[in-house]
Amino acid sequence: MRRGFYIGRFQPYHNGHQAVLEGIADEVDEIIIGVGSAQLSHDTQNPFTAGERVLMITRALETIDCPFYVIPIEDIRRNALWVSHVTSMSPPFEICYTSNPLVIQLFREANIRVKSPPMYQRESLSGTAIRQRILDGEPWEDYVPAPVVDVISEIEGVQRLRTIAETD
């Protein structure tokens, strides 16, 4: 049994994440998706709750041909403890997929194998860019899997993001 771990904030989950996970699905038996900064929501960088993000990811991956776990991970704000925190919340895994230099460094110091997946259209496919498109009233729905559009609609996520972004 070979499990791979992939972490992100998924604010929101988008086509770039989906492409990376489809690639990982070819390399491992099971995928663990850590939903980082799980305790954050309702701010402009983190508009969605962990539960909402779990829902986006699970629906978007319904047709993927690889078992997966979606695990909310609260921030621990202490880098030296972060790998222990992650591994305590997750089923055991053998490899971490990440492009984040800090995550790479922390897992390497813990002697856990790290692999950096290729990123897809990073310019447009980023949470920051998509949140900005939502705020600017530009089309954003093509940058995320269709089920994510549905979830954001159900929770009135566009209105929420625009309200909390207002300056008073």
Q: Which residues bind its own copies (CB under 8 A)?
A: 38-43, 49-52, 54-55, 58, 69-72, 74, 76-81, 83-85, 87-92, 99-102, 104-106, 109, 155, 160, 163-168
Between 21 and 61, CB nearer to its own copies: 61
CB of 154 to its own copies, least distance (A): 8
Distance of alpha carbon 131 from alpha carbon 124, whole angstroms: 11
CB of 129 to its own copies, least distance (A): 15
Backbone φ and ψ for 6, nearest 5 degrees, come out as -135, 130
CB of 91 to its own copies, least distance (A): 4
Distance of alpha carbon 149 from alpha carbon 73, whole angstroms: 23
- CB environment 107-129: b (16+ within 10 A), e (fewer): beeeebebeebeeeeeeebbbeb
Between 91 and 142, CB nearer to its own copies: 91
Between 1 and 136, CB nearer to its own copies: 1
- Total residue count of the chain as it appears in this document: 168
